[in-house]
């Protein structure tokens, strides 16, 4: 369970019920519950939805950092745009997938899926 992320999500929720907050964020209340219980690692997309309806000054960047997903705003080599890119969480950077030639072509959704699978495997191992 990610205590810092949980605290930020609850702060973002403010005085609203979890059902109302989830509805306003256009995500299910069950998804928020799973994140708060540590059963699910939220994607950047989910955190963006939460941040869009957050109260109490909670920002997308704060949620991303608490979730271990860091924002890299530097332009891609040869790209003059300022488009935001996402990185693999630091705790997983040493894993082989980060070094495969094909890994550079992964989308953020692909990276989120890999991270979720790794979290699943960690949880499965800890449940034994």
pLDDT digits (tens, 9 = 90+) for 9-36: 999 999 999 999 999 999 999 999 998 8
Domain over 3-127 is classified CATH 1.20.120 = no
List the one residue out of 116, 128, 105 whose CA is nearest residue 34.
116
Q: Are 90 and 70 in contact (CB under 8 A)?
A: yes
pTM above 0.85, yes or no: no
Distance from C-alpha of 127 to C-alpha of 121, rounded to nearest angstrom: 10
pLDDT digits (tens, 9 = 90+) for 86-105: 555 666 555 544 444 455 56
Helix %, strand %, coil % of the chain (to 5): 60, 5, 35
Res 66: pLDDT: 85
pLDDT digits (tens, 9 = 90+) for 42-53: 888 899 999 999
For residue 71, what are the β-bridge partners?
86
């Amino acid at each position: 369970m990610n205590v810092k992320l949980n605290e930020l999500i609850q702060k973002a929720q403010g005085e609203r019920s979890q059902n109302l907050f989830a509805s306003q964020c256009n995500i299910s209340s069950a998804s928020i519950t799973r994140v708060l219980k540590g059963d699910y690692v939220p994607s950047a997309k989910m955190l963006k939805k939460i941040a869009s309806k957050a109260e109490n000054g909670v920002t997308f960047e704060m949620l991303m950092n608490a979730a271990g997903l860091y924002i890299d705003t530097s332009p891609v080599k040869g790209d003059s745009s300022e488009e935001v890119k996402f990185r693999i969480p630091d705790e997983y950077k040493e894993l082989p997938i980060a070094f495969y030639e094909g890994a550079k072509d992964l989308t953020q959704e692909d990276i989120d899926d890999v991270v979720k699978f790794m979290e699943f495997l960690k949880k499965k191992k800890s449940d034994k």
